[in-house]
Chains A and B, each alone.
Chain A
Amino acid sequence: MTRFAITGIGVIGPGVGSWDDCTEVLRGERPYEPADAAIEAPPILSPRERRRASPTVRLALGAAMQAVEQAGQEPGALPAFFGSCHGEGKVTHSLLDALTAPEPVLSPTQFHNSVHNTAAGYWTIAHSSQVPCDSVSGGDFSFGATLVIASARVVAEGGAVLVVAYDAAMPEPMHSKRPMTGAFGVALVLDQPGADGAICDVDYAPLPGDADWSAVKTTPLDALTVGNPAARSLVLLEPIAVGEQRTVSLGCAPGAFHAWSIRPC
């Protein structure tokens, strides 16, 4: 059993601008009203970077700041693990589109802002931070894959880490090939079991086979959970929001599922 605590949570998604918003919706305390995710450029970026930051970068950094603030951590001090299915889908599309011109000219800024670790890069630049920053993709399982890799560091090396998962629908024509629902960013600060300010403790262990019972609990946000890889995190967040001890199933790759036991503190 692998064990860690969660000390900070950030959420930005359609109709939910914070973990508090998300909690109220998951508890049924207010009706869910889907709206485009409000993704403003976080003030931690310099004005030039704020202009250049894509919606996905803003989404990731906005959620990350919420989680770090709740955990009372220095943002630039935490080793970070960013996870996303497609990273910079919008930038990638405009480069692919530009390449179809007879004499293609690519924007150098767009090119270096197309890498999967663009959000991770902007995060460290915003904090002039030298801490390591990973960038992971697990397709539809990107959140689970990133969480497993990040938690391995918490177990193997101690200390706390930041996990940020974010995904947004890609523009056409890619969207029709790989539809995704909305834009969703989630961030967690993972720490040692029993850490000060723990929101919950988490144990997890492998489940045999394709043991996906993630659909057991229905919430107003189910369309997101199913339709956006980063929003698969809601499977884990729902028991935390309602304050119930529960074990849920979450995959970290096709056919590789874990049973995650959530114990709210």
Chain B
Amino acid sequence: MDPIDISAATLVCAMGRGLDNVAASLREERSGLRANDLDWLDADTHIGRVDGLEELAFPAILSDYDCRNNRLAQLGLETDGFAYRVAEAAARYGADRVAVVLGTSTSGIRQTEIAYAARDPETGALPADFHLQETHDYFSLADFVRRALALTGPGAAVSTACSSSSRAFIDASRLIEAGLCDAAVVGGVDTLCRLTVRGFGALELLDARPCRPNDRSRGGISIGEAAGFALLERAGESGASAAPFARLLGFGESSDGYHMSAPDPAGKGAQIAMRDALKRSELQADQIDYINLHGTGTPLNDRTEDIAVAAVLGRDVAASSTKGGTGHTLGAAGVTGVLLAGLAIRHGIKPKNLNLVEVDPDFRSRILADTETGPVRYALANAFGFGGSNCSIVLGGAE
């Protein structure tokens, strides 16, 4: 495929606000997970919480969109000068030529949880000041970001569970390639809510301790929240005030066609996604220097992913999950992994699996127990989701 520049990016997650802070956490091997301290979450678990959302000044003109998810989106837009970089692109191409394609798995459902708890005891009606369309709709996030950035190009929410925000990169790349837009704001936002904490609890996939992806005694996920945004443009066309963050070289996507919540044990779909990503990027497996694994910390996910990675990329490529630091940010997990892979390239760092004590002895891929430094030319990031939805993204450095 024709390469696409990630001409600007930002990430806000438990490991830090902004790319520099997140990179510092990676270098210093600092996890952002903490014992749950949100009283309304009411669960004995560790969370990857973003501080400051409750106090954030939300744009008054868009107050109908006010919910935890759009607050985190707003915080993201205000970080790393992202909104400014988008404004530059909009001035260059026209606001109608900039698309917004954003992944989310639960959108602003925390607001609906609050509204359900406040239903009228007589009629069952939701509170009058609850704005369902502007907060609960899956499209709420993309709608809010389009309005906040005054963009009028194509817009959509992508919601393929935990691969949502990787697929946003794929869909938007094709919009650019087909000439339907010149630039696209992609990525995604997901925030803590009771639905996902209780839901993963019901599936017995929640670790009470901080999650330990790829560890032999891993016991499930820790849920986190994140906003990750990237501005995509045709490679070399940006002409913006700052150098691009990284380059999107290829992507692959597939389905398991197996089960709604359990991965295909052979990892067939995951293998197809990684192979297609290599093919589109015209790279060989041994050219990949670092893999940011989906690595949720559930026994089944990590085992399946290891089988698939070993089959496609062999046993020598350094691989880690960063969810021990960020938590599993669900609909934002894809963009979080992609941007962390980008940081690996920019800073020449292969981050270790945080919280890992002993690598699962059955694993065949090269799981990092220690952080390594050295040039990372090409990196691959995986994201898999319920419904058997798989995405792999290959990045290179901006030239």
List chain A positions with a Cβ less than 8 A from chain B. 2, 76, 85-87, 92, 95-97, 99-100, 104-108, 111-118, 120-122, 124-125, 127-139, 141-142, 145-146, 148-149, 151-153, 155-157, 172-174, 176-178, 206, 208, 252-256
Q: How many residues of B contact A (CB 8 A)?
A: 68
User: A133 contacts B255, CB within 8 Å?
Assistant: yes
A139 contacts across to B, CB distance below 8 A:
133, 137-140, 143
Task: Tell yes or no: B188 within 8 A of A by CB.
Answer: no
Bound-state CA distance A105–B43 (Å) is 12
Residues of A within 8 A of B257 (CB): 76, 124-125, 127-130
Interface residues of chain B, those whose CB is within 8 Å of chain A, are 96, 100-101, 105, 109, 112-113, 116-117, 119, 124-126, 130, 132-133, 136-140, 142-143, 146, 152-161, 167, 171, 174-175, 177-180, 194-195, 198-204, 253-261, 268-269, 272, 385-389
Q: Are A124 and B256 in contact (CB under 8 A)?
A: yes
For A124, give its contact among B143, B156, B388 (CB under 8 Å): B388
Number of A-B contacts (CB under 8 A): 228
Q: How far is the CB of B217 from chain A (nearest CB, A)?
A: 23
CB-defined A-B contacts under 8 Å, sample of 9:
A86-B137, A99-B194, A112-B203, A115-B105, A120-B255, A121-B255, A124-B255, A139-B133, A157-B174
- Enumerate chain A residues within 8 angstroms of B261, measured Cβ to Cβ: 108, 112
Q: Smallest Cβ distance from A17 to chain B, in angstroms?
A: 27
Contact between chains at A117 and B387 (CB < 8 Å): yes
B96, B105, B117, B255: the one within 8 Å of A132 (CB): B255
Q: Which residues of B contact A134 (CB under 8 A)?
A: 158, 160, 167, 171
What 10 A-B pairs are tightest by C-beta distance, nearest first?
A121-B387, A253-B155, A116-B159, A111-B199, A139-B139, A137-B138, A124-B255, A132-B253, A112-B261, A177-B132
Partner of A108, one of B100, B154, B203, B253: B203
Residues of A within 8 A of B133 (CB): 139, 177-178
When the two chains form their complex, are residues B159 and A174 in contact, meaning their CB atoms are under 8 A apart? no
Measured between C-beta atoms, what is the minimum distance from B61 to chain A in Å? 15
Q: Given A128-B257, A132-B253, A151-B178: A137 and B389 within 8 A (CB)?
A: no
A138 and B156 within 8 A (CB):
yes
Which residue on chain A has the smallest CB distance to residue B201?
A106
Q: In the complex, are the beta carbons of A149 and B146 less than 8 A apart?
A: no
Give the chain B neighbours of A130 by CB distance below 8 A: 254-257, 268-269, 272
Chain B residues, CB < 8 A from A177: 126, 130, 132-133
In whole Å, how far is B41's beta carbon from the nearest beta carbon of chain A?
Answer: 11
Task: Output the residue of A2, A85, A99 with the most chain B CB within 10 A.
Answer: A99
Tell me how far the C-beta of B107 lies from the nearest C-beta in chain A, rounded to whole angstroms. Answer: 9
| A137 engages B160 (CB within 8 Å) | no
Question: With A133-B255, A137-B157 in contact, do A156 and B132 touch (Cβ < 8 Å)?
Answer: no
